[in-house]
C-alpha cells in the first residue's frame, strides 16, 4: 500500500474559495495510472507492462490539460539529475518508455499535459523552503511509486493469462483478475482485439506526494476490448498492429510511417473541415482544434521522403498527434508525419477520417482525434493552398 500520511476524505465543496488546493487535488480528486503493452516495436522488458502516465481527472471523466505554460519544462532528465534522483531516473529509463524511442519527450509531455494540472504540485504549496522545479521530481516519484504497486504482467501471469501468439482470452477473464488485485474495475484498452493498455483508477485522499491512493471504479465506460477473442501477443511479435492509444487523452505519437505514394501537401494553406455531407464546415485553427467562427489559420506543409509525406506547422508551433489528438504547439519537439489522398484529404497513418465530440458551435472549439472511441462526429480535413 502507498504512504498514508494524509487521510483526508473526498468531499464535495461548493464554495471554491474555501478549498485548500494544496491539501488535495482540486478540481477533481481522481487519478489514473496508465500502462502500455507495446509489441511492435517491442518496448520495455518482455515481462513487464510499461508506465504511460499519472493523470488527474474530474469525477465526470473530463480532465484539465496544459495548465501552466510557465512550467512547461522540457528538461526532465536534467531536473531529476540536479536533485540527485538517479535511482528514480534509472527506473523511468527502464519502465517509462516511449515506443518511438524518445523517452525524454514522453516524460516532458506527461509533465506538461498532466503534471502541471495537479494542484498540490503548485510551487506555492511548498512554502518558503521551495526549491525551483522540485515539484517535477515529486510528480515523477509519485507516478513511479503508484506504477510499482501495479504489476500487471505478474498479476495476469499468476492467473494463467500470459502473452501468446495462439491463445485468446475473454474480457471477463482479464477484468476479474485485475479487479481482484486492484480492488475495483479497471479500464481495458484494445486496438481491434489486441490487448495493449490498462488504466487503474484511484481516489486520492490527500496530495499525490503523500496521500492515500484508494482504488475506485472508472469514471465512465472507457474499456474498449471486445467480450471474446482478445489477443495478448508477446513483445517482439508482429502483434497485429503498431502502438496506439485507445482513448484520446494522454504521448507524443509521430505515428506510423504512411506508405502513400500520392503527392503530399506543400507550401502554405488552410485545413478545411468536411462533415458527412462533404460540405466545408469550419477549419482547423493554429492550436490544432476545429473551429467554425473567425479566420482560418495558415499552415506550412514541409514535404519529406521524396514528397510522399510531410509535416505541418502553424503559428503556434509544430503539429503532432499526441495521445490520439491533433496538437500544434511550441512544446511539440517531434512533428508527426502526415500524408494525403488523391483528393487532397489529410491522412494520418493512411486514414483520412478524423473524429470529434461534436460539431463546434459559435466560439467553441472541438478537439480533433484519430480514433473513434468516445467521439461521435466523423470529419475529414482538406488542404487548400494559400
Q: Could you give the CA distance from residue 193 to residue 1 in angstroms, rounded to a whole number?
A: 33
Strands 267-274 and 325-329: unpaired
Confidence check: pLDDT of 254 > 80: no
Mean pLDDT, range 306-333, rounded to an integer: 84
**SS3 of residue 102 by DSSP:** coil
Confidence check: pLDDT of 386 > 90: no
- Catalytically active residues, by annotation: 52, 110, 114
Percent of the chain having pLDDT more than 70? 86
Q: Read off the pLDDT of residues 72-107 as tens digits, 9 standing for 90 and up.
A: 998 999 999 999 999 999 999 999 999 888 999 999
pTM exceeds 0.85, yes or no = no
Q: Which residues of 237-275 are buried (b: 16+ CB within 10 A; e: fewer)?
A: eebeebbbbbbbbbbbbebbebeeeeebbeeebbbbbbe
**Residue 260 binned pLDDT confidence (cut-offs 50, 70, 90):** very low
Q: Could you give the CA distance from residue 164 to residue 151 in angstroms, rounded to a whole number?
A: 19
In degrees and rounded to multiples of 5, residue 129 shows phi and psi of -90, 10
In degrees and rounded to multiples of 5, residue 94 shows phi and psi of -95, -40
Within 13 Å and on the Cβ side, how many CA atoms surround 19? 17
Q: Read off the pLDDT of residues 1-20 as tens digits, 9 standing for 90 and up.
A: 443 333 333 333 333 445 66
Confidence check: pLDDT of 168 > 90: yes
Confidence check: pLDDT of 332 > 60: yes
pLDDT at position 264 = 54
Look at 147 and 262; give whichever has higher pLDDT: 147
Of the spans 100-109, 154-163, 183-192, 270-279, which averages the highest pLDDT? Answer: 154-163
Amino acid at each position: 500500500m502507498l504512504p498514508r500520511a494524509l487521510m483526508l476524505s473526498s468531499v464535495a465543496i461548493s464554495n471554491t474559495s474555501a478549498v485548500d488546493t494544496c491539501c488535495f487535488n482540486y478540481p477533481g480528486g481522481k487519478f489514473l495510472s496508465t500502462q502500455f503493452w507495446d509489441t511492435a516495436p517491442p518496448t520495455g522488458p518482455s515481462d513487464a507492462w510499461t508506465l504511460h502516465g499519472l493523470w488527474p481527472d474530474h469525477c465526470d471523466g473530463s480532465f484539465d490539460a496544459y495548465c501552466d505554460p510557465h512550467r512547461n519544462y522540457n528538461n526532465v532528465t536534467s531536473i531529476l539529475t540536479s536533485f540527485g534522483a538517479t535511482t528514480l531516473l534509472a527506473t523511468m529509463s527502464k519502465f517509462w518508455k516511449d515506443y518511438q524511442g524518445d523517452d525524454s519527450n514522453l516524460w516532458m509531455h506527461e509533465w506538461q499535459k498532466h503534471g502541471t494540472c495537479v494542484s498540490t504540485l503548485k510551487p506555492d504549496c511548498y512554502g518558503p523552503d521551495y526549491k525551483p522545479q522540485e515539484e517535477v521530481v515529486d510528480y515523477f516519484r509519485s507516478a513511479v511509486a503508484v506504477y510499482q504497486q501495479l504489476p500487471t504482467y505478474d498479476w495476469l501471469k499468476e492467473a494463467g493469462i500470459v502473452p501468446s501468439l495462439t491463445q485468446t482470452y475473454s474480457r471477463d477473464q482479464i477484468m476479474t483478475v485485475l479487479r481482484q488485485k486492484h480492488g475495483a474495475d479497471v479500464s481495458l484498452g484494445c486496438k481491434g482485439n489486441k490487448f495493449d493498455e490498462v488504466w487503474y483508477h484511484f481516489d486520492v485522499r490527500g496530495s499525490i506526494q503523500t496521500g492515500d491512493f484508494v482504488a475506485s471504479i472508472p469514471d465512465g465506460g472507457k474499456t474498449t476490448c471486445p467480450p471474446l477473442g482478445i489477443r495478448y501477443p508477446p513483445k517482439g511479435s508482429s502483434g497485429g498492429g503498431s502502438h496506439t492509444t485507445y482513448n484520446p487523452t494522454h504521448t507524443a505519437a509521430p505515428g506510423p510511417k504512411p506508405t502513400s505514394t500520392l503527392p503530399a501537401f506543400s507550401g502554405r494553406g488552410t485545413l478545411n473541415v468536411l462533415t458527412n455531407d462533404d460540405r466545408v464546415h469550419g477549419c482547423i485553427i493554429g492550436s490544432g482544434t476545429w473551429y467554425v467562427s473567425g479566420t482560418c489559420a495558415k499552415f506550412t506543409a514541409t514535404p519529406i521522403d521524396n514528397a510522399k509525406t510531410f509535416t505541418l506547422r502553424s503559428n503556434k508551433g509544430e503539429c503532432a498527434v499526441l495521445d490520439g489528438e491533433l496538437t500544434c504547439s511550441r512544446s511539440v519537439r517531434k512533428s508527426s508525419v502526415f500524408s494525403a489522398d488523391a483528393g487532397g484529404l489529410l491522412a494520418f497513418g493512411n486514414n483520412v477520417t478524423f473524429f470529434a465530440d461534436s460539431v463546434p458551435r459559435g466560439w467553441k472549439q472541438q478537439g480533433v482525434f484519430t480514433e473513434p472511441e468516445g467521439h461521435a462526429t466523423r470529419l475529414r480535413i482538406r488542404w487548400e493552398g494559400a
